[in-house]
Each structure stands twice: as C-alpha cells, then as structure tokens.
Structure 1
Amino acid sequence: MRFAYDAHTWKEIAHLLVNLPVGMLGFVYAVSVLAIGVPLTVTVVGLPLLAVGLLGARVLGRAERARARKLLGVQVDEPSPMPAIASSGFFGRLWASLKDPVGWRTMLYSFVRLPWGVLTFAVMATGLFVAWPVLPFIARGLANADRAMVRGLLSPSDELERRIAELESDRGVVVDTAAADLRRIERDLHDGAQARLVALAMGLGLAKEKLTEDPEAAARMVDEAHGEVKVALQELRDLARGIHPAVLTDRGLNAALSSLAGRCTVPVKVTADLPARPAAAIEGIAYFTVSELLQNVSKHSGARSARVEVWRADDRLLIQVEDDGRGGARLDGGTGMAGLADRLGAVDGIFVIDSPEGGPTTITAELPWRDRATDPEPQRDARRR
C-alpha cells in the first residue's frame, strides 16, 4: 500500500519533507539580513544592505513559488517587478526597495517556514514508518496548509501591486511626454518667432539710422518690418494653439473639433454628443488625440473623406475617427500612434486601431469621464481671464 500512493501524494510528501532544509535556508537568510542591516541603519551602508537583502528575498520567493507550482500544483502569479524609477536617482530607488511589500512578505514567509518545516518533516518522516496507511490524508491536510501559506504570503496582493507598477510606468510616460512637449515649444520659439523678432529688431534699427538720411528707404524697411510683425504674430498664435487652443477653453470640444476639421485637407464630418463638458485635462487630451489623428489622415491615408464622433457612455468619453483611405495603420508604423496609445494609457484610457490593408481605418479611443464641475482648472482659467 505504501507504494500504491499516487504521484500527486508523493509530490506532496516530497514537498513537506523538503520544507525543513528550505526553511532553514530561508530563516538563516532572513535573520542575517535583519541582524546585519537593521543595526547598521545608523551608518551609510545599513539601508543599502537592507535594500539588497529585500531584493534577495524576492529571489527566494520566486524559487518557493516555482517549488509550490511543481510539487503542490499551486498556480500563483509572479508579483510585479520592482518599478523602474530612473528619474528619482539613487535615493528614490533605495526608498522603493526598502518599502517593497513583496520583499517584506517573503521575509515573513522565511521566518514562518522554519518551525513549519520542522513540524512537516517530523510528521512525514514518522508517518512513512509508523502511520503510512493514513499518511496520504495527513499529507493532504498539511499540503493544503502549505498551499494557503504560499497564496497568502507569496502571491500578488490582489491588483494593488500590479496597479502600482502600472502607475509608475504611466508616470514615466507622462513625464517623458511633458519633457518632449517643452522641448518642442522651446524649439519652435527659438527657430520661429524668436528668430523672426530678432531680425525685426535689426531691421527697425537700420530703419532708424536711415530715417534722416534716406526717408524713403527707411519707410520701405518699416513696411517690411510691419509684414514681419504679422508673420511673427501668426506663428505665436499657431504655437499657442498647439499648447492649448483658445476655442477649446472658451467654447468646448465640439467647436474645437469643428475648427480642426476645417483645417484638415480632407473633408471631415464632426458629430459630438456630449451632455456637458468633461474636465479640462480630459478635454485637452481628447482634442490633441483627434488633432494628431486628423494630421495622419491628411498626410498618410490617401482618404477622400473622414468622420469624427465623440460621445459619452456611462463614465467614459469615447472618440472614433474613421477615414476611407488605404488603411494599414499600425502602432509601430511611425505615425505617432504608439505615442498616442501611451498618452491615453497614462490616464487609464484605451486606444484601438482597426485598419486592414485597403481600408477603411477606424480608430477608437476611450478616456475616463470626469465632470468639469469638480475640476479646479476651469475656475483658475476664469480667474486668469
């Protein structure tokens, strides 16, 4: 009968017997990390040593999850990896490691495992020689306790850890996007309006010198400067529209999208069914999403017409841009689609492309709806005006 145990029972027995050496290894590791790291926290090396110890605990936890999957059949997901916080520098990464819940839970698991390993080893070793007829039932009960321990201490804590990792990644996308926008504005100012205003100042200086000697030449130079002023003003208006268009602030998304459609080289029909205005931040993201998509329609699609629809469904703002062009749009196609998907993802949005070869192309974007009444941005805008 002892050899009639099925493979599942033998795996459980093997797991329970191995608990003792594994528990000793984990216990020694956890005690060593805390005994060395905690007293040394008063020095410059203590906290880094503790952080490295917690990273090592993650490795132990990964090995234990693999053992539980193989011998106990416990299907536990791997916790989220440590978020990359390169912009926070050394101390930011150190603090993230020190407050890592995965590492601390694995340390607790390592402490619990030694007494539990002694118990399971003693029971299994005794049962193999004395109580082998009932040993499968004892093994099943102890193994179930082991399964509960693995799920409770080594599995991801619901969706919290995954959500934290997503938010860290999204924060990086937002920071990178903001930095890129600032660089673009700086470049546009330097190469456009600033250069033109410098040339204008030089022209007016020359006109001032010629005013008494050659009034006619000075008048021509002033006329040229007047034309340069008009061009510079138009460039500044275009730049301001690229930052945040006045029509969006004053009249809302419907009017702003109609203005975009009027500037598109392809005829565009706009339909907006919004009972109210969303929060200013969401409204801005929706506007610039449609703006970039319509630019792609103009430059890359070869379409004869396009359509933009915007509506609210429950707590989501939905945007759909469709064209009858050649299709083939992809996230990795080099037309800024990946950047749009990242920007929407950073605010819990969704970006879906349906663009078979030969067309048509339909792009759907979803954004979370936030009421404008609870958003502080419009009040600040009103005070500024």
Structure 2
Amino acid sequence: MTEGSHSDVQPARQGRNWFTAGWIAMGRGLTMFFLGLLAVFLAWFAIVGMSLTLLGFGLFLVPGLVAALRWSANAQRRLTGKTGVRIAEPYAPAPRTEGGWKGAWRKCEAIFTDSATWRDMLWAQCAVTVTGLFAIIPFASLVHGLFGMLLPFIWEPVVQAWDGTWYMFVPVRSQDSAWIAGGLGLLEIPVGLLIAPYVLRLHARITHSLLAPTAKARMGRRVEHLARTRTDVVDSSAAEIRRIERDLHDGAQARLLAMGMKLGAAESLLDENPEAVRTLLAETRDASVRALEELRDLVRGIHPPVLADRGLVDAVRSLALESRLQVQVTANLPARPEPAVESAAYFAVCELLANATKHSGARRVLVDIQYRANALAVSVTDDGHGGAGLESGSGLQGVQRRLAAFDGTLGISSPVGGPTTVSLQIPCALTVMP
C-alpha cells in the first residue's frame, strides 16, 4: 500500500467491553500526555541547537536533537495508530553526506528545509496544552472521582484547608453534602471510563492534523516514489534485454551456428563418406532439439504461454507440478488481473519457490492467491529453517522492486527456525478476459 492510497482513519478494534476499553484508553491518554511533555523539552533543546548553528558547533548538535524529537513524534504516531487513526511518517529521506563541516551543513540544510520538522515543533508546543488536555481528561476524571469518594471521610480537614470547598456544583459544608459529593464521585469514575475512548479519538484526530503529511508532502513523496520505481523498471527492463541477448547468443544462436557448420561438413562428405554424413545429421538433429528447448525456455522466461492462455492460478499450478518440493496452491480469484500484474505476480512466485528450493531446506510450500480490498494478495509459506530477509540476497530485493512498479508491497515473516511467509500485495482491478 502506498502512502495516501487509503484513508488514514481506520475503524478501531471492536469487541472489547466499555470497562476494559476505558481503562486502555485512559492509560494511552496518560502515556500520550507524558510523551508530549517530553516532546516539549526536546523541541526547546532543538531550537537552542538551531540557534547555535550561527556559531558553527550547533551544526553538529541539530541532527541528534531533531532525531530525538522525531523519535517522540513517531512514538506518538504509533500510539495514535492504536486508536484507529493512522498517521504516516512525513519526513523526507536523509541525504547522503560525508563527514566534517560540509556534511554537517548538508544534514542541517535538509532538516531546516523539511516542513515536517516545523510541524513537529508545532505539535510539541500543543502536546501539553490543546492535545495534552484532551489526552488527560479521562484520567483527571478518575482522580477527581476518587477524591469525591474520599470526601465523606476527609471533608473536615479539606474544608479547613480550603475555605469554600466545592465538588462540582455541590458546596461541601457538612457530612450530608460530603456524602452527596461522594455519590457524584462514584458516578464520575464510570463516566470517565465511558468517554475515554471517544476523547482519545478526538485527541487522535487533532494529532493527525498536526503530525500527518501535508498534501504537498504527500505529492512530493509520491513523485519521488514514481521516479524511483521508474528508474527500477528501466534498469530491470535493460537487464532483462541483456539476459535475453546473452541467452540467445550463448544458447540457441551458438547451436544454430554449429548446426550450419555440421550441415556444411555433411554436404562436403556426402559422396565420399555416407556413414559420416549420417552421424553428422544425427548430431544436427539432436542440436536442433536442444536449440528448440532453449528457445522454449527463453519464451517461458519472457512470458509463459500458460500464463497468457490460462491465467495466474493455472500458471502457478504448473510451477507447483514442476517443483521438487511439495507445493499446494489455494486460490480464490473470481477474474483475471491485468496482464502486467499477472506477470509480476507470476515471476515473484517463481523467485520465491526458487528461494525455497535452494536456500530454505523446506519440504512443503503453500501458495495462497486471493483478491481482497481491491488488491491481488499472494502468500508463499514454507516449512524451512527461516531467517530470510531483504538483506540476505538480491532475489527478494528484485521481487520488491518489481512490485514497487505497481505500488505493490512485500512483507516477510521469517523467524529463525521457520516457517517463512512472504506476502505480496498488488493494487489492481480484475478484468474478465475473453
């Protein structure tokens, strides 16, 4: 899923009763308040560091101080996401810089020109005022309710300490009024638990308006994503053309050249040595069979006929039949995706099955193909020893680059000891092919 492709606001998890949900929301609100309090100090430290850039040595302080502020903002984004309001990170990628003064200046320049830096500053100033008050209201209601419940037992010293004590709308002057305050306090606690999720959701929406990427930032990241994926597609296409040229040159072309030479030799020996001609013709026939097989393999590597004729599910099932592993394919695909999406998913499954065969030590593989939420979802699970990751080789990185051209995503779950599950998501529409 790409940033901005779906709404940032998602429904919160259902199923909890109001009591449990209230306590969870109250705890999150209190955590958000103290996190915002920390962000205030971090923001002021960052501002001091920025002011010291005029003296030079602030250039080396700003990146670390802003990184700490961004850590607190990201922690707030994660907490807000648990309420159902998703907030994406808006930061521009850090530039590649060298060390020394020049590198420090380039880092600070990237920080100063990133609008997300100043939005974090604005959020930090609101974190214990506007948004912070919303976050702490349910907890304050709990504390105030407990105080009201204690008033029937401590009202006299309280009244002596604070002349004219009121609890909500009740003036506490006697034991009877203290009991009324206690009853109100007893009611205030469940009210606080009831409103906590709703107050926290309101807090989350305000936080979203402060910390979410702006439309300009979204567009900039989208343009950057498209430029990067375009470059990857161009590089991948060039590499594929070079591979086809190499396979043709080293394979079928070399065999056809050898066949021509053998036919020439057979022609020169036709009258003198018929037996040698027969042998040469047999070798030429074998070479033609091998050349034909290589051409068929090459065609399959470009776009398999079974994929074009019968679709993704049957093409993956043909891979399963050819694999040395026990591959089970389950699918629920009511129609066919676009040919380009089918091709990307097919070759991704090819690469994943090849990885499972070569590196995982697996015996069984489950391939599941579904269409849900306007996206083609493919998962490949093997019972191997695990430990797979994008950093472990170029195969998975190549799959990721291939999917990125379609705004697709690649997810990997591969704990040591297995199992390994690789999930693909490619946004697409289904079409009924003739």
Shorter-chain TM-score tier: 0.5 to 0.7
The count of residues paired between Structure 1 and Structure 2 equals: 248
1:122-155 CA-partner distances (Å, limit 9, x unpaired) = xxxxxxxxxxxxxxxxxxxxxxxxxxxxx9xxx7
1:242-268 CA-partner distances (Å, limit 9, x unpaired) = 000000111111211111111111110
Q: 154, 157, 164: which one pairs with 2:216? A: 157
Structure 1 residues 65, 338: closer, same or farther in 2, change over 3 A? closer
Residue in 2 that maps onto 1:365: 424
Structure 1 residues 233, 67: closer, same or farther in 2, change over 3 A? closer
Q: RMSD across aligned C-alpha pairs, in angstroms? A: 3.3
- Structure 1's unaligned 5+ residue stretches are 1-6, 19-55, 77-150, 380-385
Residue in 1 that maps onto 2:26: none
Structure 1 residues 331, 64: closer, same or farther in 2, change over 3 A? closer
Residue in 2 that maps onto 1:62: 112
1:277 deviation in Å?
0.7
Q: 289, 292, 306: which one pairs with 2:365? A: 306
Residue in 2 that maps onto 1:271: 330
Q: What CA distance in whole angstroms lies between the structure 2 residues aligned with 1:309 and 1:176?
A: 30
1:327 aligns with 2:386: yes
1:222 aligns with 2:294: no
Corresponding residue SS for 1:348: coil
Q: What CA distance in whole angstroms lies between the structure 1 residues aligned with 2:112 and 2:215?
A: 12
Corresponding residue SS for 1:157: helix
Contact 1:279 1:369 in 2 (8 A): yes
Q: What CA distance in whole angstroms lies between the structure 2 residues aligned with 1:352 and 1:68?
A: 32
- Opposite residue 249 of structure 2, the aligned amino acid is H
1:156 deviation in Å?
6.4
1:371 deviation in Å?
2.8
Structure 1 residues 65, 235: closer, same or farther in 2, change over 3 A? closer
Residue in 1 that maps onto 2:244: 185
Q: What CA distance in whole angstroms lies between the structure 2 residues aligned with 1:236 and 1:370?
A: 33
Q: What CA distance in whole angstroms lies between the structure 1 residues aligned with 2:393 and 2:110?
A: 42
Corresponding residue SS for 2:266: helix
Corresponding residue SS for 2:417: coil
Q: What CA distance in whole angstroms lies between the structure 1 residues aligned with 2:357 and 2:247?
A: 22
Where do 1:1-385 residues align within 5 Å? Answer: 62=112, 73=122, 157-372=216-431
Structure 1 residues 67, 274: closer, same or farther in 2, change over 3 A? closer
Contact 1:282 1:370 in 2 (8 A): no
1:34-56 CA-partner distances (Å, limit 9, x unpaired) = xxxxxxxxxxxxxxxxxxxxxx9
1:69-128 CA-partner distances (Å, limit 9, x unpaired) = 79x74679xxxxxxxxxxxxxxxxxxxxxxxxxxxxxxxxxxxxxxxxxxxxxxxxxxxx
1:335-380 CA-partner distances (Å, limit 9, x unpaired) = 511111121122110101111111111110011122335xxxx78x
Contact 2:111 2:117 in 1 (8 A): no
1:63 deviation in Å?
6.0
Contact 2:387 2:414 in 1 (8 A): yes
1:287-340 CA-partner distances (Å, limit 9, x unpaired) = 101011111111111111111110100300000111111111110111511111
Q: Between the two proteins, what is the percent identity of the paired residues?
A: 45
Q: What CA distance in whole angstroms lies between the structure 2 residues aligned with 1:74 and 1:338?
A: 36
Corresponding residue SS for 2:381: strand
Contact 1:297 1:303 in 2 (8 A): yes
- Opposite residue 273 of structure 2, the aligned amino acid is D
Q: What CA distance in whole angstroms lies between the structure 1 residues aligned with 2:115 and 2:303?
A: 50
Structure 1 residues 63, 328: closer, same or farther in 2, change over 3 A? closer
Q: What CA distance in whole angstroms lies between the structure 1 residues aligned with 2:349 and 2:117?
A: 50
1:185 deviation in Å?
0.9
Contact 1:280 1:372 in 2 (8 A): no
Structure 1 residues 64, 333: closer, same or farther in 2, change over 3 A? closer
Q: Which moved more, 1:219-228 or 1:157-166?
A: 157-166
The 4+ residue runs of structure 1 with deviation greater than 3 A are: 58-70, 72-76
Structure 1 residues 218, 61: closer, same or farther in 2, change over 3 A? closer
Q: What CA distance in whole angstroms lies between the structure 1 residues aligned with 2:223 and 2:235?
A: 18
- Opposite residue 62 of structure 1, the aligned amino acid is F
Contact 1:282 1:367 in 2 (8 A): yes
- Structure 2's unaligned 5+ residue stretches are 1-39, 52-105, 126-209
Residue in 2 that maps onto 1:383: none
Task: Output the TM-score relative to the length of structure 1.
Answer: 0.59
